Amino acid sequence: MQKKIRVCLIGCGRAGMIHARSYMGGVSGAVLAALCDPSADTLKAAAEETGVTKLYSDWHDVMKDEEIDAVIVVTPTQFHHDVVISAASAGKHVFCEKPMASTEAECDEMIAACATNKVKLQLGFMRRFDRSFRRGKEMLDAGTVGDVTLIKSNTYGPSEPKEWMYDVRRNYGPIGEVNSHDFDTLRWYAGSEVKMIHAVGHNFRSPEKARQYPEYYDTCTVMLEFENGVLGMITGAQYVRYGYDSRAEILGTQGIIKVGSQHANSAETVTADRVIRSDSMDSWRTLFIDAYRAEDQAFIDCIRDDTEPLVSGTDGKMALVLVNEGLRSILERRPIMLKNGLPEE
């Protein structure tokens, strides 16, 4: 009987605790053995919720713990590179949340370190594990709608931007904050790399910030052309207020596949005024809760079965390329040409 994979969560904030809760009750073959976070209050709260007693305030110390087999990296993006390379060097398997790193060069180094040390590297694109998005992929691959011609994906988030989010050269804006998952979804569905990307963005909801942050945008549209001829369209927005909205469409020569719903449930109210009312989805944490659990299980399975992760380091890198080049397209107000999914320039 195989021993359970002992996992340490590095980063116990909002996103990190989604993974912690999965491991506490829904991931077989693994145990959440340790927690790490530089904030004493955050670490204490995570320990109280999970009951985990092995705690670290410095991720460097995690790498010295020979009892830890794998790490879940949910730190701020600027630390991903160093944490992942250190974990790989220590022989620990790695699950890394998106965005993978700050630059493509960092992604290459992370991929190489994991390959050299023969550890698994899986990226956190949970939509690939969502039942609806996976079913869409299955129908696409089965030829249900004929040849694919156009793929559309949208993500709209309800949260009001925090002050640091207005500097898009540091934060990317919606194209990085909410649309990185859409980029991965379209690459996955199209089965091809992007040849051309053209993005446009505008600030509609925070005009009071326009003078201080003239480059900020809260809404964007992105047109993509893939190397195999498939066309793509992504739309993104922050601070939409009405709820969290993530859906996709796959248009083929023989029909269309529609993925996802904005409804929180299937209950509707119809009143005498002939108005239909239903509940909207409140958060990505609600919509994708099962997908998070499934991707955590897939990570453990690939370690135990010695198989390749379903979402690779290359997938993480290519999504980052599209975020970077999408922002460049917005700022430079022009299309950007790519070759093999990478910038030509």
Three-state secondary structure call for residue 125: coil
25, pLDDT greater than 90: no
**pLDDT tens digits along 126-185:** 999 999 999 999 999 999 999 999 999 999 999 999 999 999 998 899 999 899 999 999
- Same domain, residue pair 206 and 138: yes
- Same domain, residue pair 71 and 196: no
Which segments of the chain are extended strands (E)? 5-10, 30-36, 55-56, 70-73, 93-96, 121-123, 148-156, 194-202, 219-226, 231-237, 245-252, 255-259, 263-270, 276-280, 336-339, 342-343
Determine, yes or no, domain membership for 292.
no
Q: In the predicted model, what is the mean pLDDT of residues 24-31?
A: 92
Report the chain's mean pLDDT, rounded to a whole number: 96
Q: In the predicted model, what is the mean pLDDT of residues 194-217?
A: 97
97, pLDDT greater than 90: yes
* Residue 10 belongs to domain with CATH number: 3.40.50.720
- Same domain, residue pair 224 and 272: yes
The predicted pLDDT at position 266 comes to: 87
Determine, yes or no, domain membership for 40.
yes
The predicted pLDDT at position 2 comes to: 82
Of 119, 153, 179, the one marking the end of a domain is: 119
Q: In the predicted model, what is the mean pLDDT of residues 15-35?
A: 95
Determine, yes or no, domain membership for 44.
yes
The predicted pLDDT at position 4 comes to: 95
The percentage of residues in the chain with a pLDDT greater than 70, rounded to a whole number, is 99
**Of the listed ranges 5-9, 22-26, 111-115, the one predicted with least confidence:** 22-26
Question: In whole angstroms, what is the distance from residue 58 CA to residue 27 CA?
Answer: 26
- pLDDT band at residue 1 under the 50/70/90 scheme: low
**pLDDT tens digits along 305-319:** 999 999 999 999 999
**Interstrand relation of 231-237 and 245-252 (parallel, antiparallel or unpaired):** unpaired
Of 119, 139, 174, the one marking the end of a domain is: 119
**The total number of structural domains that make up the chain:** 2
- Same domain, residue pair 105 and 166: no
Q: In the predicted model, what is the mean pLDDT of residues 286-314?
A: 96
Determine, yes or no, domain membership for 105.
yes
- Same domain, residue pair 180 and 160: yes
- Same domain, residue pair 46 and 153: no
Residue 227, domain extent: 131-282+319-343
Of 88, 119, 150, the one marking the end of a domain is: 119
26, pLDDT greater than 90: no
Determine, yes or no, domain membership for 309.
no
- Same domain, residue pair 207 and 112: no
Determine, yes or no, domain membership for 298.
no
